[in-house]
Amino acid sequence: MIHFSRWKIILIFALCTLGLVLAAPNLFSKQQLAGFPGWVPKSTLNLGLDLRGGSHLLLEVDLKAAYKERLTNLVQSIRAELRRERIGYSRIGATGEQALVVIRDPDKKARRGRGGQTNIERATKLLRRLEPGTEVDVSGARITIKYTVDERRVRDNQVLQQSIEIVRRRVDELGTTEPSIQRQGADRILLQVPGLDDPERLKKLLGKTAKMTFHLLDPRFPLGTPPPAVAPPGSFLAKHRPDKRQERQGSPPRLTLVLKKRVVVSGEHLVDARAAYDTGRPVVSFRFNTIGARKFGRVTQENVGKPFAILLDKEVISAPVIQGPILGGSGIITGGFTVQETQDLSLLLRAGALPAPMTILEERTVGPELGADSIAAGQIACIIGFVLVLIFMVMAYGIFGVFANIALVLNMTLLLGGLSLLQATLTLPGIAGIVLTIGMAVDANVLIFERIREEVASGRTPLSSVDAGYRRALTTIIDANLTTLIAAIILFEFGSGPVKGFAVTLSIGLVTSMFTAIMVTRLIVVTYLRRRRLQALPI
Amino acid sequence: MAVFPLRLVPPNTKIDFIGRRKAAFVFSALLMAVSLVFFAVKGLNYGIDFKGGILMEVRTPGAADIDALRKRLSGLGLGEVALQEFGQSTDVLIRIERQPGGEKGQMIAVVKVKEALGRDVASYRRTEFVGPKVGGELIQAGILAVVLSLLAIMVYVWFRFEWQFSIGAIVALTHDVVATIGLFSVLGLEFNLATVAAILTIAGYSINDTVVVFDRIRENLRKFKTMQIEALLNLSLNQTLSRTLLTSVTTLLALLAIYIFGGAVIRDFGFALIWGVLVGTYSSIFVASPVVMMLKIRESITSGSIGGGETGQENPAE
């Protein structure tokens, strides 16, 4: 334990230097770092949102709703197919996780041509071909169709990826810096936006699916007529957005409109949307792509003088009358908006619709002030803890305490270097982890020094005491630190956010403290003893 | 030279720790009983991490008029609203119980509160809300983390030592965990994710301490094959006493720095850790070792071999 081969000494120096180099970028500002040549390591500690301020939002994508919608579409195409093939059904619809059709006269054979197959046989064949990734089950006259497990997984994955993309676009539109958007588990998105201390607008934007569709009104129920209790077939009821100005005057409650189910054109064909003014009123101007423009042009041409409705998330936001054919593919949406509302609406339309609704499960927002206060408090705690331990170690072990302190300083540098290298996020509990590491890091040295004291007491020579002290303390140090490391790693696995940051600093701190105690202080102690040739150890 | 070097413990102490195991047992049993009774009767003051709900830290332009703020918020019909001064007189911590209406309900309530507070608040330092779904998951994850780490530590100690040590370690750790939960229940401190982190850290610290003592017991069992087990344990505890106390002191110094200077947000966290160091140090001396003795470690050593560590090739004579 008192011999160091040359390569080992070189390795120790190399590692310590590496730690210093990796920790060094933290001393400089981002601007300064950018000016350095390319080979200089530039990774610095990432500050967690609790330190730099910002908003952390955990979002959940409603995959079930997306599936349900897909099932509804499937039912519609089943209905169309059966009609085309003239196969009668007594019931059709989506029930729970599957689509169900009950065929009328299942055993009746088709009159001519069709190969003499029964209705149920023809229907089954038809539905099997309808869409890939579906499973068809037949029992009696009932046919159930559902998507396979694999297909659902693939689609769920797509929905989540799309949602992430849309969230990214919406957040980017807000002009925030360096948002981080991560997938979490099967149906969650973790959104972290540094520097955003009032996320109410973002939350409002994320809460909207922003599915926009254009519909014609049911001609049987023109604007102003009372709506029926139940929508007639092929139509549906939609409420008009509450008009703030009308509400203030205490005038009529929300209007209910009867709209044709058929979608004239939808938001997916939009290429641009902007907040604008039309004769002084805030409006949203939009532009369709060629397909959208053609559809929109045709419908407006055929329905001049009739009203149509623009729906956003199943709510009518505007129901203007078509003044004339709109062939250029661009138009404006009016509807008693405020300026802020037109800005939000155009942003949502530009970013596109979410494939499924989203809810915010959790929000944690820290203002920049508190973040700065926490950093300041953390720094003070670090420095004071550090100084107290340094003083105590010198008081307890004299010159050996100084050695341990050199190791402690190095340990902190290595810890900083390690955190920078891993691009770990430093959080407030993480700072607590560093301070705790300061206190616990000296433990390895304490174990060794106590052991050396014992060996000295048993009458050994200084060198032999040091040798035996290190050798015997080694297994203890490893056992003791590994068990703590186990707890820290499990904490990392199960903890979230700031707690993870704590586990990271604690774990790295344990590893670096073992290294500095076993290698660095030993090298210092041995070198010191060789130079001084002491008769008695000052420990 | 009286202070330099400072010795917390004189060399060659001969304190009879094991002889006081009955008193220690009574003390620990009482500690456990109080903790469990409080936990069962009073329960824990769960924070929003587990319970769901809303937490806001606001700064007011002048010294905060908490009563006025409370009046304004209780008019909103949001159920239980708790306000407290936080760190300094201008800062107020507002806790609002979980709102009905799932995740959306929390969001709406946050907007309502912000509207109601209006100009009384200079800045929102923190806004957090946790919906019911996440809360439930975090509870599960927290319990799982504590149980798993205890098991992992037990397996490691079993692997490196004899099974008696592993039982001793786990009893001591459970003791520390229960005592910490008890402390939170008795004082009504907020029990949140950071508390779970604190408990795991306490477990880590305590096992560290315990393993150091165990290591010495194992070494001495090999060295002094005929020594009475009580004397042997006492010897091991006395030999490691200086280290135990020194490390406790350095750790406590660092933790005191966190507690006093680290800011209001992590004060409770620091407090839990300080308690943990005290309990952990106590348990590795008075709980872990007596358990190992009760499990008849000596008999299992003499009949078999003891694994791990290096064999004492040095002359055992002192």
The total domain count for chain A is: 3
- pLDDT over 60 (residue A113): no
Residue A160 belongs to some domain of the structure: yes
Closest Cβ–Cβ partner in A385, A493, A495 for B197: A495
| Same-domain pairing of B194 and B99 | no
- Please state, in angstroms and rounded to a whole number, the distance separating the CA atoms of residues A65 and A55: 27
pLDDT over 90, % of chain B: 34
Same domain? For A211 and A285 the reply is: yes
Nearest-by-Cβ selection for B57 from A370, A475, A480: A370
User: Are A360 and B107 inside 8 Å of each other by CB?
Assistant: yes
Query: Do A512 and A414 contact (CB within 8 A), yes or no?
Result: yes
Task: Tell me the pLDDT tens digit for each residue of B13-28.
Answer: 888 998 899 999 999 9
User: Are residues A264 and A140 both part of a single domain?
Assistant: no
Per-residue confidence (pLDDT) for residue B315, from 0 to 100: 43
Total structural domains within chain B: 2
Same domain flag for B290 and B150? yes
Report pLDDT for A251: 53
Whether residue A217 sits in one domain with residue A314? yes
Q: Which of B107, B130, B153 is the last residue of a domain?
A: B130
Bridge partners of B306? Answer: none
CATH number at residue A412: 1.20.1640.10
**Residues near B207 by Cβ (< 8 Å), separated by ≥ 6?**
A480, A483, A484, A487, B153, B157, B169, B172, B173
User: Is there a contact between A443 and B247 if contact means CB atoms under 8 Å apart?
Assistant: yes
A487 to B318: CB separation less than 8 angstroms, yes or no: no
Is B250's CB within 8 Å of A498's CB? no
Q: Are residues B177 and B125 in the same domain?
A: no
Q: How confident is the model at residue A246 (pLDDT cuts 50, 70, 90)?
A: low
Average pLDDT, chain B: 85
Domain-located, residue A1: no
CB contact under 8 A, A384 and B257: yes
CB contact under 8 A, A58 and B5: no
Query: Closest chain B residue to A201 measured between Cα atoms?
Result: B111
**What's the rounded mean pLDDT across residues A239-255?**
65
Question: What is the predicted pLDDT for the residue at A244?
Answer: 60
* Closest approach of A94 to chain B, Cα-based (Å): 26
CATH of the domain at B269: 1.20.1640.10
Mutate to test the interface with A, among B148, B155, B156, B208 (most CBs of A within 10 A): B208
- Write down which residue in B83, B111, B130 finishes a domain: B130
CB B286 within 8 A of CB A396: no
Mean pLDDT for A271-275 is 89
Nearest residue in B to A386, CA atom: B254
Out of A309, A341, A362, pick the residue that ends a domain: A362
Residue B216 burial class via C-beta count within 10 angstroms: exposed 0-12, middle 13-18, buried 19 and up? buried
Question: Rounded mean pLDDT of A292-304?
Answer: 89
Statement to judge: residues A291 and A221 lie in one domain: yes
Residues A179, A256: one domain?
A: no
Which residue does chain B place closest to A56, by CA atoms? B128
The sheet carrying A330-333 orders its strands as A270-278, A281-288, A330-333
Q: Are strands A142-147 and A98-103 parallel, antiparallel or unpaired?
A: antiparallel
> Using a CB-CB distance cutoff of 8 angstroms, which residues of chain A are in contact with residue B1?
none
Among A128-132, A173-177, A406-410, B111-115, which is the least confidently predicted range?
A173-177
**B280: Cα separation from own chain's centroid:** 8
Kindly state whether residues B276 and B203 are assigned to the same domain: yes
Contact A363 B156 (CB under 8 A): no
Confidence at residue B309, expressed as pLDDT on a 0 to 100 scale: 43
The CA distance from A151 to A67, in Å, is 11
| pLDDT band (50, 70, 90) for residue A245 | low
Residue A147 domain-assigned (yes or no): yes
Q: Give the chain B residue nearest A369 (alpha carbons).
A: B125
- Give dist(CA A55, CA A366) in Å, integer: 6
| Contact criterion met (CB < 8 Å) for B197 and A385 | no
User: Is residue A537, in this structure, part of any structural domain at all?
Assistant: no
> Do B36 and B59 belong to one domain?
no
**Domain membership of residue A43 as a residue range:** 6-53+367-532
Same domain flag for A356 and A451: no
Residue B204, CB-side half-sphere exposure with 13 Å CA sphere: 27
Looking at the fold, whether B124 and B141 belong to one and the same domain comes out as: no
Q: Are residues A288 and A393 in the same domain?
A: no
What average pLDDT does this structure show over A118-122?
Answer: 86
Q: Which residues contact B1 (CB under 8 A, 6 or more apart)?
A: none
Residues of B in contact with A482 (CB under 8 A): 156
Instruction: Indicate whether A81 and A168 sit together in one domain.
Output: yes
Does any domain span residue B283? Answer: yes
Same domain, B176 and B80: no
Q: Are residues B168 and B231 located together in one domain of the fold?
A: yes
Check CB contact under 8 Å for B138 and A440: no
CATH number assigned to the domain comprising residue B73:
3.30.70.3400
Q: Which residues of A433-465 are buried (b: 16+ CB within 10 A; e: fewer)?
A: bbbbbbbbbbbbbbbbbbbbbbbbeeebebbeb
- Tens digit of each residue's pLDDT, chain B (318 residues): 334 467 777 777 888 998 899 999 999 999 999 999 999 999 998 888 888 889 999 998 888 888 888 888 888 888 888 888 888 888 999 998 888 887 788 888 888 888 888 878 888 888 988 887 888 888 888 888 888 888 988 899 998 888 899 999 999 999 999 999 999 999 999 898 888 888 888 888 898 899 999 999 999 988 888 888 889 999 999 999 989 999 999 999 999 998 999 888 888 889 999 999 999 999 999 999 999 988 877 766 655 444 444 444 444 433
Whether A387 and A518 map to the same domain: the answer is yes
Candidates B114, B191, B200, B267: best to mutate against A (most CBs of A within 10 A) is: B200
Q: Which of A380, A389, A485 sits opposite B254 (nearest CB)?
A: A389
Q: Is B254's CB within 8 Å of A486's CB?
A: no
pLDDT band at A28 (very low <50, low <70, confident <90, very high): confident
Do B90 and B183 share a domain, yes or no? Answer: no
Question: Which residues of chain B make contact with A377, given a CB cutoff of 8 A?
Answer: 261-263
Mutation target among A50, A361, A428, A438 for the B interface, most CBs of B within 10 A: A361
For residue A364, what is the nearest residue in chain B, using CA coordinates?
A: B128
Nearest CA in chain B to A199: B127
**Closest CB from A203, A367, A490 relative to B124:** A367
- For position B302, what pLDDT does the model report? 57
For B136, nearest residue in chain A (alpha carbons): A361
Nearest chain B Cα to A460, which residue? B318
Q: Is residue A311 domain-shared with residue A247, that is, in the same domain?
A: yes
In this structure, are B94 and B163 located in the same domain? no
Q: Would the pLDDT of A2 be above 80?
A: no
Tell me: do A157 and A251 sit in the same domain: no
Choose, out of B266, B274, B278, the residue to mutate when testing the contact with A (most A CBs < 10 Å).
B266
Cβ contact, residue pair B219, A384, below 8 Å: no
Expressed as residue numbers, the domain containing B65 is 53-130
| CA-based max dimension of chain A | 116
Residue A26 exposed, middle or buried by CB count within 10 Å (0-12, 13-18, 19+): middle
How far apart CA A112 and CA A122 sit, in angstroms, is 13
In a domain, A538, yes or no: no
Q: What is the pLDDT of residue B317?
A: 39
B5 vs A396: CB contact, 8 Å cut-off? yes
Q: Are residues A405 and A350 in the same domain?
A: no
3-class secondary structure per residue, chain B: CCCCCCCCCCCCCCCCCHHHHHHHHHHHHHHHHHHHHHHHHCCCEECHHHHCEEEEEEECCCCCCHHHHHHHHHCCCCCCEEEEEECEEEEEEEEECCCCCHHHHHHHHHHHHHHHHHHHCCEEEEEEEECHHHHHHHHHHHHHHHHHHHHHHHHHHHHHCCHHHHHHHHHHHHHHHHHHHHHHHHHCCEECHHHHHHHHHHHHHHHHHHHHHHHHHHHHHHHCCCCCHHHHHHHHHHHHHHHHHHHHHHHHHHHHHHHHHCCHHHHHHHHHHHHHHHHHHHHHHHHHHHHHHHCCHHHHHHHCCCCCCCCCCCCCCC
Cα separation, A290 vs A327, whole angstroms: 10
Last residue of a domain, one of B73, B106, B130: B130
Flag if A369 and B125 touch (Cβ within 8 Å).
yes
**Chain B nearest-CA residue for A200:** B111
Among B240, B243, B271, B273, which would you mutate to test the A interface (most chain A Cβ atoms within 10 Å of its Cβ)?
B243
pLDDT tens-place string over residues A436-488: 888 878 888 899 998 888 888 888 888 888 888 898 888 888 888 888 888 88
Do B171 and B66 lie in one domain? The reply is no
Question: Are A362 and B130 in contact (CB < 8 Å)?
Answer: yes
Residues B159 and B298 in one domain: yes
Total CB pairs under 8 A between chain A and B: 259
Q: How far apart are CA B114 and CA A337, in angstroms?
A: 23
What is the ipTM score, two decimals? Answer: 0.85
Q: Do B273 and A436 touch (CB under 8 A)?
A: yes
Q: Which two tokens stand for residue A1?
A: 């334990």
A202 domain-assigned: no
Residues of A with Cβ-Cβ distance to B162 under 8 angstroms: none
- Measured between beta carbons, the chain B residues lying within 8 angstroms of A207 are 104, 107
